[in-house]
Amino acid sequence: MAGKLITLEGIDGSGKSTQMRMLAGELRLRGIDILATQEPGGTPLGRRLRGAFLETEEQVDPRAELLLFAADRAQHVNLLIKPAIAEGKIVISDRYADATLAYQGAGRGFPKEVVLDVIKLATDGLKPDLTIFFDLPVERALSRANDSDSDSRTTNRMDFETSEFYTRVRKEYLSIAENEPERFRVIDGDRSVEEIHHDVVDLVTRFIGQDESGRPPSAATKA
Ligand code: ADP
Ligand code: TYD
Protein backbone atom coordinates (compact mmCIF):
# COMPACT_ATOMS: atom_id res chain seq x y z
CA MET A 1 0.00 0.00 0.00
CA ALA A 2 1.31 3.48 -0.83
CA GLY A 3 1.98 5.67 2.19
CA LYS A 4 -0.43 8.52 2.84
CA LEU A 5 -0.86 11.42 5.23
CA ILE A 6 -4.28 11.87 6.80
CA THR A 7 -4.83 14.75 9.21
CA LEU A 8 -7.59 15.49 11.71
CA GLU A 9 -8.54 19.07 12.46
CA GLY A 10 -11.07 20.94 14.53
CA ILE A 11 -11.31 23.60 17.19
CA ASP A 12 -10.44 22.58 20.75
CA GLY A 13 -13.05 20.24 22.18
CA SER A 14 -14.34 19.14 18.77
CA GLY A 15 -13.65 15.49 19.60
CA LYS A 16 -10.60 14.91 17.36
CA SER A 17 -8.50 13.09 19.91
CA THR A 18 -11.39 10.79 20.84
CA GLN A 19 -11.97 9.97 17.17
CA MET A 20 -8.24 9.56 16.55
CA ARG A 21 -7.98 6.88 19.26
CA MET A 22 -11.03 5.04 17.95
CA LEU A 23 -9.95 5.26 14.31
CA ALA A 24 -6.42 4.07 15.07
CA GLY A 25 -7.82 1.12 17.05
CA GLU A 26 -10.18 0.14 14.25
CA LEU A 27 -7.56 0.37 11.49
CA ARG A 28 -5.09 -1.69 13.52
CA LEU A 29 -7.78 -4.33 14.08
CA ARG A 30 -8.12 -4.52 10.31
CA GLY A 31 -4.38 -5.10 10.00
CA ILE A 32 -3.62 -1.72 8.41
CA ASP A 33 -0.14 -0.43 9.18
CA ILE A 34 -0.63 3.04 10.61
CA LEU A 35 1.37 5.61 12.49
CA ALA A 36 -0.85 7.64 14.83
CA THR A 37 0.78 10.90 15.78
CA GLN A 38 0.02 14.49 16.72
CA GLU A 39 1.03 18.14 16.57
CA PRO A 40 2.38 19.67 18.59
CA GLY A 41 4.42 16.98 20.35
CA GLY A 42 4.74 14.11 17.88
CA THR A 43 8.47 13.72 18.52
CA PRO A 44 10.61 13.84 21.70
CA LEU A 45 11.87 17.31 20.72
CA GLY A 46 8.30 18.37 19.91
CA ARG A 47 7.12 17.20 23.34
CA ARG A 48 9.80 19.30 24.99
CA LEU A 49 8.84 22.31 22.86
CA ARG A 50 5.17 21.76 23.64
CA GLY A 51 5.84 21.80 27.38
CA ALA A 52 7.99 24.89 27.04
CA PHE A 53 5.63 27.11 25.08
CA LEU A 54 2.13 25.64 25.40
CA GLU A 55 1.94 24.23 28.91
CA THR A 56 3.23 27.37 30.55
CA GLU A 57 1.79 30.45 32.14
CA GLU A 58 4.65 32.54 30.76
CA GLN A 59 3.64 35.14 28.19
CA VAL A 60 4.60 33.92 24.71
CA ASP A 61 5.13 36.36 21.87
CA PRO A 62 2.83 35.51 18.90
CA ARG A 63 5.84 35.37 16.55
CA ALA A 64 7.58 32.95 18.87
CA GLU A 65 4.38 30.89 18.98
CA LEU A 66 4.14 30.77 15.15
CA LEU A 67 7.77 29.70 14.84
CA LEU A 68 7.60 27.15 17.65
CA PHE A 69 4.64 25.38 16.03
CA ALA A 70 6.71 25.44 12.83
CA ALA A 71 9.79 24.05 14.60
CA ASP A 72 7.70 21.24 16.08
CA ARG A 73 6.31 20.51 12.59
CA ALA A 74 9.69 20.56 10.82
CA GLN A 75 11.01 17.94 13.23
CA HIS A 76 7.81 15.92 12.97
CA VAL A 77 7.67 15.93 9.17
CA ASN A 78 11.30 15.21 8.51
CA LEU A 79 12.10 12.71 11.24
CA LEU A 80 8.80 10.89 11.61
CA ILE A 81 6.16 11.50 8.94
CA LYS A 82 8.22 11.37 5.74
CA PRO A 83 10.15 8.21 6.70
CA ALA A 84 6.86 6.48 7.66
CA ILE A 85 5.21 7.44 4.36
CA ALA A 86 8.29 6.18 2.51
CA GLU A 87 7.80 2.81 4.25
CA GLY A 88 4.22 2.70 2.93
CA LYS A 89 2.51 3.57 6.22
CA ILE A 90 -0.73 5.44 6.62
CA VAL A 91 0.19 8.35 8.88
CA ILE A 92 -2.66 9.92 10.84
CA SER A 93 -1.88 13.16 12.59
CA ASP A 94 -4.10 14.85 15.18
CA ARG A 95 -3.55 18.37 13.73
CA TYR A 96 -1.10 19.55 11.08
CA ALA A 97 -0.44 22.67 9.00
CA ASP A 98 -4.09 23.77 8.56
CA ALA A 99 -4.08 24.43 12.31
CA THR A 100 -1.44 27.12 11.80
CA LEU A 101 -3.52 28.81 9.09
CA ALA A 102 -6.55 28.70 11.37
CA TYR A 103 -5.01 29.54 14.78
CA GLN A 104 -2.00 31.74 13.97
CA GLY A 105 -3.43 33.09 10.69
CA ALA A 106 -7.11 33.78 11.39
CA GLY A 107 -6.86 33.51 15.19
CA ARG A 108 -3.79 35.66 15.87
CA GLY A 109 -4.00 37.71 12.67
CA PHE A 110 -0.76 36.84 10.87
CA PRO A 111 -1.06 37.53 7.12
CA LYS A 112 -1.86 34.42 5.10
CA GLU A 113 1.26 34.76 2.86
CA VAL A 114 3.52 34.81 5.92
CA VAL A 115 1.83 31.75 7.41
CA LEU A 116 1.98 29.89 4.09
CA ASP A 117 5.71 30.63 3.77
CA VAL A 118 6.40 29.40 7.29
CA ILE A 119 4.36 26.24 6.63
CA LYS A 120 6.22 25.61 3.37
CA LEU A 121 9.56 25.91 5.11
CA ALA A 122 8.52 23.57 7.92
CA THR A 123 6.85 20.92 5.78
CA ASP A 124 9.08 21.11 2.71
CA GLY A 125 5.78 21.19 0.79
CA LEU A 126 4.30 17.96 2.25
CA LYS A 127 0.51 18.30 2.11
CA PRO A 128 -2.04 15.93 3.61
CA ASP A 129 -3.73 13.54 1.18
CA LEU A 130 -6.91 13.76 3.22
CA THR A 131 -8.00 16.06 6.04
CA ILE A 132 -11.04 15.43 8.21
CA PHE A 133 -12.47 18.49 9.92
CA PHE A 134 -14.76 17.88 12.89
CA ASP A 135 -17.16 20.78 12.84
CA LEU A 136 -19.46 22.00 15.56
CA PRO A 137 -20.54 25.35 17.00
CA VAL A 138 -17.87 27.06 19.08
CA GLU A 139 -19.95 27.15 22.27
CA ARG A 140 -20.60 23.39 22.10
CA ALA A 141 -16.91 22.63 21.63
CA LEU A 142 -15.84 24.97 24.42
CA SER A 143 -18.27 23.50 26.90
CA ARG A 144 -16.95 20.01 26.10
CA ALA A 145 -13.35 21.17 26.47
CA ASN A 146 -14.15 22.82 29.83
CA ASP A 147 -16.05 19.77 31.11
CA SER A 148 -13.09 17.56 30.27
CA ASP A 149 -10.50 19.73 32.02
CA SER A 150 -10.96 17.76 35.19
CA ASP A 151 -10.23 14.40 33.53
CA SER A 152 -7.44 13.30 31.21
CA ARG A 153 -6.88 16.52 29.26
CA THR A 154 -3.95 18.84 29.98
CA THR A 155 -4.95 22.49 29.97
CA ASN A 156 -2.77 24.69 27.77
CA ARG A 157 -2.49 28.40 26.97
CA MET A 158 -4.80 28.14 23.95
CA ASP A 159 -7.65 26.96 26.21
CA PHE A 160 -7.97 30.51 27.56
CA GLU A 161 -8.79 32.15 24.23
CA THR A 162 -12.14 33.90 23.69
CA SER A 163 -15.06 32.51 21.75
CA GLU A 164 -14.40 35.28 19.14
CA PHE A 165 -10.93 33.78 18.63
CA TYR A 166 -12.38 30.29 18.12
CA THR A 167 -15.06 31.68 15.81
CA ARG A 168 -12.32 33.09 13.55
CA VAL A 169 -10.46 29.76 13.73
CA ARG A 170 -13.57 27.79 12.80
CA LYS A 171 -14.37 30.18 9.94
CA GLU A 172 -10.89 29.73 8.50
CA TYR A 173 -11.21 25.94 8.61
CA LEU A 174 -14.57 26.20 6.80
CA SER A 175 -13.03 28.47 4.20
CA ILE A 176 -10.23 25.92 3.55
CA ALA A 177 -12.98 23.31 3.15
CA GLU A 178 -14.67 25.45 0.55
CA ASN A 179 -11.43 26.02 -1.37
CA GLU A 180 -10.19 22.42 -1.22
CA PRO A 181 -13.28 20.19 -1.17
CA GLU A 182 -11.41 17.12 -2.45
CA ARG A 183 -8.82 17.03 0.32
CA PHE A 184 -10.70 18.68 3.17
CA ARG A 185 -13.81 16.82 4.33
CA VAL A 186 -16.18 18.27 6.89
CA ILE A 187 -17.81 15.89 9.37
CA ASP A 188 -20.65 16.98 11.66
CA GLY A 189 -19.00 16.73 15.08
CA ASP A 190 -22.19 17.55 16.98
CA ARG A 191 -23.38 13.94 17.17
CA SER A 192 -22.67 10.90 19.31
CA VAL A 193 -19.12 9.56 19.45
CA GLU A 194 -20.30 6.33 17.77
CA GLU A 195 -22.10 8.03 14.88
CA ILE A 196 -19.06 10.16 14.13
CA HIS A 197 -16.73 7.16 14.41
CA HIS A 198 -18.83 5.24 11.89
CA ASP A 199 -18.53 8.08 9.33
CA VAL A 200 -14.81 8.54 9.95
CA VAL A 201 -14.05 4.84 9.44
CA ASP A 202 -16.17 4.84 6.30
CA LEU A 203 -14.39 7.89 4.89
CA VAL A 204 -10.90 6.69 5.71
CA THR A 205 -11.33 3.09 4.57
CA ARG A 206 -12.81 4.25 1.26
CA PHE A 207 -9.96 6.70 0.89
CA ILE A 208 -7.21 4.14 1.46
CA GLY A 209 -9.02 1.59 -0.65
CA GLN A 210 -10.08 -0.93 1.96
CA ASP A 211 -13.60 -2.28 2.06
CA GLU A 212 -15.55 -3.09 5.23
CA SER A 213 -13.85 -6.50 5.53
CA GLY A 214 -10.45 -4.86 5.58
CA ARG A 215 -9.40 -6.26 2.19
CA PRO A 216 -8.30 -3.97 -0.62
CA PRO A 217 -11.01 -3.66 -3.32
CA SER A 218 -9.18 -5.84 -5.87
CA ALA A 219 -8.78 -8.72 -3.38
CA ALA A 220 -12.43 -8.35 -2.39
CA THR A 221 -13.55 -8.71 -6.01
CA LYS A 222 -11.47 -11.82 -6.55
CA ALA A 223 -12.57 -13.51 -3.32
P1 ADP B 1 -10.24 17.55 21.01
O2 ADP B 1 -9.11 16.57 20.86
O3 ADP B 1 -10.81 17.94 19.70
O4 ADP B 1 -9.90 18.72 21.87
P5 ADP B 1 -11.48 15.51 22.68
O6 ADP B 1 -11.56 14.29 21.87
O7 ADP B 1 -10.40 15.60 23.72
O8 ADP B 1 -11.45 16.80 21.73
O9 ADP B 1 -12.90 15.73 23.36
C10 ADP B 1 -13.14 16.80 24.27
C11 ADP B 1 -14.15 16.32 25.33
O12 ADP B 1 -15.40 16.06 24.71
C13 ADP B 1 -13.75 15.01 26.03
O14 ADP B 1 -14.19 15.06 27.36
C15 ADP B 1 -14.50 13.95 25.26
O16 ADP B 1 -14.79 12.83 26.06
C17 ADP B 1 -15.78 14.70 24.88
N18 ADP B 1 -16.33 14.25 23.58
C19 ADP B 1 -15.65 13.85 22.49
N20 ADP B 1 -16.50 13.54 21.47
C21 ADP B 1 -17.75 13.78 21.95
C22 ADP B 1 -19.07 13.65 21.37
N23 ADP B 1 -19.25 13.25 20.11
N24 ADP B 1 -20.13 13.97 22.14
C25 ADP B 1 -19.95 14.39 23.42
N26 ADP B 1 -18.73 14.53 24.03
C27 ADP B 1 -17.64 14.24 23.30
P1 TYD C 1 -3.87 20.09 22.31
O2 TYD C 1 -3.86 19.83 23.77
O3 TYD C 1 -3.17 19.15 21.41
O4 TYD C 1 -5.34 20.39 21.90
P5 TYD C 1 -6.37 19.55 21.08
O6 TYD C 1 -6.56 18.25 21.82
O7 TYD C 1 -7.59 20.43 21.08
O8 TYD C 1 -5.75 19.39 19.70
O9 TYD C 1 -3.28 21.54 22.10
C10 TYD C 1 -2.86 22.03 20.91
C11 TYD C 1 -3.23 23.50 20.85
O12 TYD C 1 -2.34 24.15 19.95
C13 TYD C 1 -4.64 23.70 20.33
O14 TYD C 1 -5.26 24.75 21.03
C15 TYD C 1 -4.41 24.14 18.90
C16 TYD C 1 -3.08 24.83 18.96
N17 TYD C 1 -2.31 24.81 17.70
C18 TYD C 1 -2.02 26.02 17.07
O19 TYD C 1 -2.40 27.09 17.56
N20 TYD C 1 -1.30 26.02 15.91
C21 TYD C 1 -0.83 24.86 15.36
O22 TYD C 1 -0.18 24.89 14.30
C23 TYD C 1 -1.13 23.61 16.03
C24 TYD C 1 -0.63 22.31 15.45
C25 TYD C 1 -1.88 23.64 17.20
Interval between CA 17 and ligand 1 midpoint (Å): 7
Question: For 135-182, how does the pLDDT look when each residue is reduced to its tens digit (9 = 90+)?
Answer: 999 999 998 877 765 555 677 888 789 999 999 999 999 999 999 999
Question: For 54-72, how does the pLDDT look when each residue is reduced to its tens digit (9 = 90+)?
Answer: 988 889 999 999 999 999 9
Interval between CA 8 and ligand 2 midpoint (Å): 11
Residue of the CA atom closest to atom 23 of ligand 2: 99
| Cα–Cα dist 187/175, whole Å | 14
Residue closest to 155 by CA, chosen among 49, 41, 12: 12
The pick from 21, 22, 144, 169 for probing ligand 1's pocket by mutation, whose C-beta has the most ligand atoms within 8 angstroms, reads 144
| Cα–Cα dist 54/67, whole Å | 13
Q: Give phi and psi for 99, each to the nearest 5.
A: -65, -35
| Cα–Cα dist 143/216, whole Å | 40
| Cα–Cα dist 182/184, whole Å | 6
- Residue 216: band (very low, low, confident or very high) from pLDDT cuts 50, 70, 90: very low
Interval between CA 91 and ligand 2 midpoint (Å): 18
pLDDT above 90 covers a percentage of the chain that reads: 81
Residue of the CA atom closest to atom 19 of ligand 1: 15
**Which pLDDT value is given to residue 153?**
62
Q: Rg for the chain (alpha carbons), in Å?
A: 17
pTM: 0.93
Range of the domain at 193: 4-222
Q: Check which CATH number belongs to the domain holding 205 and give it.
A: 3.40.50.300
Which atom of ligand 1 is found nearest the CA of 196? Answer: 23
Interval between CA 142 and ligand 2 midpoint (Å): 14
Q: How many domains does the chain have?
A: 1
CA distances to 23, 24, 85 from 30, in Å? 11, 10, 19
